[in-house]
Structure 1
């Protein structure tokens, strides 16, 4: 029993739990936030500012963990981490930002688009010195349900998009 008491003591000192005496002298343990701040525990991914994201159950249930290649899985995780309905995935920045090659990022993006997990919903113009005109264009993407981050709603695809997918189209499996 002393090993368990020592473990509870360490967790309490780390600010991961509170420990109090309850009914009949038994310990009542309450978990706290995992950052050690002593704040109340919250379920990961519930708030928009929360750094955690979750892959939906369908990722495993529908076999995506077996069917996607490594570049596809990497780009799904990167896209999921964006925590927005619409986002860009600049392939030339992937080595610097995420440590994967631009080629692997491109393969992953194409694979996710082929399966209807990732869709292009718009284009974004930006200023750049790499182009003679000083302006560049890049695609804006959205994850299709069930991969859309919770609490953000459903993506919409307007008539003007270049994907050819209507807003009532279902993702391919």
Structure 2
């Protein structure tokens, strides 16, 4: 007996509607900034951040799942833009994301409001391929949710990254984390 695809979709949606809610722990990172972090995630120490995210400007905080394959990070950078520039910044950041990776499949991109604050939001699957012909490495694919906000002269960047083959597992968590950000 074949199940029509529409019926199958309703069945799948019905089953996922009863999935347990994501458990987040509220963590205060700075004055006026708190985030929801999955209960099983742990903060990376400074040396772990330096190893995993080598940069002259290290993230404000990084939280990883027990396997270390999934991260939620918060970075702060100076900016001369203002929140009224979000429409232009959406296009600029989308272009920047496309330049960072070999291929990008955008799932969502918009300006949205979370807890009374506007954010620029992207959800996508990125692919990095080895451009050298001598060493053909397997492509690296990642599911990512990125949210940007401007507060004063600071740009806050919230990033959730997971392996693309685990997107179905981590997408609800990424969305819950992004919806739990409180920036005053």
What TM-score bracket applies, with the shorter chain setting the length? Answer: under 0.3
| Greater relative contact order (CA < 8 Å, ≥ 6 in sequence) | 2
Instruction: Flag the structure with larger Rg.
Output: 1
Given the two structures, how large is their TM-score scaled by the length of structure 1? 0.26
After TM superposition, the score normalised by the length of structure 2 is 0.25
